[in-house]
Structure 1
Amino acid sequence: MNFGDDLIKLEHVSFTHPSSEDAPAIIKDVDLTIHRGEWVAVVGTNGSGKSTLAKLIAKLTPVSSGEVRFNIPEQPPIQLIFQNPDMQVIGETVFEDVCFGMENYGIAEAEMRQRALTALRKVGLEAMTDSPVSQLSGGQKQLLSIASCLCMNPAVLLFDEATSMLDPRSRHNIVQVAQELHGEGKTIVWITQWMDELAWADRMVVLDQGRVAYNGSTRDFFYLTDEQSQSCCDRLGFIPPYTVQVALSLINKGLKLASMPVTPAELGKIVSLHL
């Protein structure tokens, strides 16, 4: 798949908490480029530096060394959806909340209303425009956070473990909205611990103790093996999603698959060929 311009470039980026001179670096000499229209998933265990990297990419936290450069004409260039949806809720009603960022940018009232309604429609909250935010579920609050970010027309949407505090149904809704936005051309940076959320990424980056341990395709991460018949997923200690586990089990039983599936739909199509 071909992508557009380089939007974000990290060059030799490192980060250490400034409060302690002896503290080890959380992010260590990271080089990373994100292209327009790309979906990049960033995965790692707890303490690997994922959320710190998100804040560095969004320039919410200054780097200790190296450089984060934007090549983005849109303003604001990037919007971040946090792990805890309550961290981004400000207005008393859904409409007030989704308009807050636009008010700070001085957007005209008529345009602001049009943008707000369009964004709420995209995330499925158009019927709740006047509802108190306090009555929303966690999943609905996260959808509201996405709508508030969409109103700003950023080039990049950065999801920092945005589904980790949600139930499975809400997780599915958030992923589905992100897929639709990506299909419309939005650049997505998706930070997660969930292996099954990697399936829709064009590229994945694995952080291990603050360093990039893998940067490549999701399919290769799960299936490409080394001389010891070990995949990068195995070597780094991750458990592959159920779809990949089933495919590997079929391969181990001697079944030759036409391709290596990473989504349930791909697995179903491949298995149907052998029935």
Structure 2
Amino acid sequence: MIPLSKLQDGDQRVNNGKRKGAVRVRTWIALERIAAAPPGGGEDVVLQGIDFRVGAGEFVAVVGVNGSGKSTLLRVLAGLLPVAEGKAATHPEADGAVRIVFQNPDAQLIGETVYEEIAFGLEQLGVPTEEMPERVRLALRSVGLDVPASTPVERLSGGQKQLLGIAGALAAEARVLLLDEPTSMLDPVSKASVVDTVRALRDRGLAVVWSTQAMDEVGLADRIVALQDGRVAFEGTPETFFYGEAGKGDDAHGANDGGVPCVALGLRLPYAVETAHRLRDHGVRLTVRPVTDDQLLEAVAGLCR
């Protein structure tokens, strides 16, 4: 991926607890009409005509069924896979500051201990040895990984290994964190820990691109980009993805199933959204279109006031 001296900042919709609505954000990575294919074929299809941007402090969810191109897209964003067509650019301040965490935690960790794992990445960046202990300590604290730095990696749980991978990215001062289905191999407790950690990092200004098939993970994303057969089939807010366009379909609360992008793409609605749809079918009109469990609870509580 070629760094460009000038990337146009863009108006993006963000909802990270500190900034809401359309704001001007610095674009870290931009893809324009790119085409790419995974080496050796693999399960993912060839990407075609992909436009994609991610800016500072954004949380972008990349969704799609198996083989839709999610992993290929993240590898392009990470600079691990060249593009065959189109343009791929990084902002100079983000060049070398894009880190990826893969689906299988065991496939990406090479250090024998927690300290060695993070220190190895710092060595590759030329960080002085005397600075490493403090950077390791701060990175572990940032992700809430409360284990001694001397802990053998093999003793960590799956969730702790994913947090270690994220800690390594933070120690390397990543500006963009790419997560390729990071919770798909985790138990519910470990999954919740990773989701909460990444959400907190986004709130502190880290750009996050999260690929997943688990729709309950994407409700707080600023944007959802849905892939189908290697092309962008949808790009918009979680609300529109799960309910369709307001004012269309059977009522203003949400479209019928045929007009819901999530359903049309063969993905399962998250519990909060499915419940809201069922309430609507039984004549209960919520005043908002909830996409997370907390939003659903608040909406239902509002009916009782």
Query: Counterparts of 1:196 and 1:209 in 2: how far apart (Å)?
Result: 22
Query: Counterparts of 1:49 and 1:62 in 2: how far apart (Å)?
Result: 15
Among 57, 67, 78, the alignment partner of 1:47 is: 67
Question: What residue identity is the alignment partner of 2:123?
Answer: E
Equivalent residues of 2:272, 2:292 under 8 A apart: yes
Task: Tell me which moved more, 85-94 or 187-196.
Answer: 85-94
Question: What residue identity is the alignment partner of 2:47?
Answer: I
> Partner of 1:148: helix, strand, or coil?
helix
Query: Counterparts of 2:240 and 2:171 in 1: how far apart (Å)?
Result: 36
1:264 to partner: Cα distance: 0.6
Q: What residue in structure 2 maps to residue 191 of structure 1?
A: 211
What is the aligned-residue RMSD (CA, Å)? Answer: 1.7
Equivalent residues of 1:14, 1:25 under 8 A apart: no
Written as runs of structure 1 = structure 2, the 5 A alignment for 1:169-188 is 169-188=189-208
> Partner of 2:79: helix, strand, or coil?
coil
* Change in 2 beyond 3 A, CA 1:3/1:201: farther
1:110 to partner: Cα distance: 2.8
1:39 to partner: Cα distance: 0.3
Q: What residue in structure 1 maps to residue 109 of structure 2?
A: 89
Task: Tell me which moved more, 212-221 or 67-76.
Answer: 67-76
1:77 to partner: Cα distance: 2.2
1:252 to partner: Cα distance: 1.6
Equivalent residues of 1:117, 1:126 under 8 A apart: no
* Change in 2 beyond 3 A, CA 1:125/1:25: closer
Q: What residue in structure 2 maps to residue 237 of structure 1?
A: 266
> Partner of 2:208: helix, strand, or coil?
strand
Q: Deviations over 1:38-84 (max 9, x none)?
A: 10000000010100111011110111111210014145220000111
> Partner of 2:301: helix, strand, or coil?
helix
1:234 to partner: Cα distance: 2.2
1:36 to partner: Cα distance: 1.4
Q: What residue in structure 2 maps to residue 264 of structure 1?
A: 293
1:221 to partner: Cα distance: 0.7
Q: What residue in structure 2 maps to residue 103 of structure 1?
A: 123
Query: Counterparts of 2:39 and 2:206 in 1: how far apart (Å)?
Result: 34
Q: What residue in structure 2 maps to residue 33 of structure 1?
A: 53
Question: What residue identity is the alignment partner of 1:186?
Answer: L
* Change in 2 beyond 3 A, CA 1:74/1:207: closer
Structure 2, gaps ≥5 residues long: 1-20, 250-254
Among 224, 227, 230, the alignment partner of 1:207 is: 227
Equivalent residues of 1:75, 1:154 under 8 A apart: no
Question: What residue identity is the alignment partner of 2:283?
Answer: G
Among 48, 73, 79, the alignment partner of 1:59 is: 79
Query: Counterparts of 1:116 and 1:160 in 2: how far apart (Å)?
Result: 23
Query: Counterparts of 2:233 and 2:39 in 1: how far apart (Å)?
Result: 25
> Partner of 1:221: helix, strand, or coil?
helix
Question: What residue identity is the alignment partner of 2:294?
Answer: A
1:138 to partner: Cα distance: 1.2
Structure 1, gaps ≥5 residues long: none
1:18 to partner: Cα distance: 6.5
1:208 to partner: Cα distance: 0.2
Query: Counterparts of 1:273 and 1:216 in 2: how far apart (Å)?
Result: 27
Query: Counterparts of 1:18 and 1:124 in 2: how far apart (Å)?
Result: 35
Query: Counterparts of 2:39 and 2:240 in 1: how far apart (Å)?
Result: 37
Query: Counterparts of 2:46 and 2:209 in 1: how far apart (Å)?
Result: 19
Identity of aligned residues (%): 42
Q: Does 1:163 align with 2:183?
A: yes
1:17 to partner: Cα distance: 5.2
Q: What residue in structure 2 maps to residue 7 of structure 1?
A: 28
Query: Counterparts of 1:82 and 1:18 in 2: how far apart (Å)?
Result: 17
1:256 to partner: Cα distance: 2.0
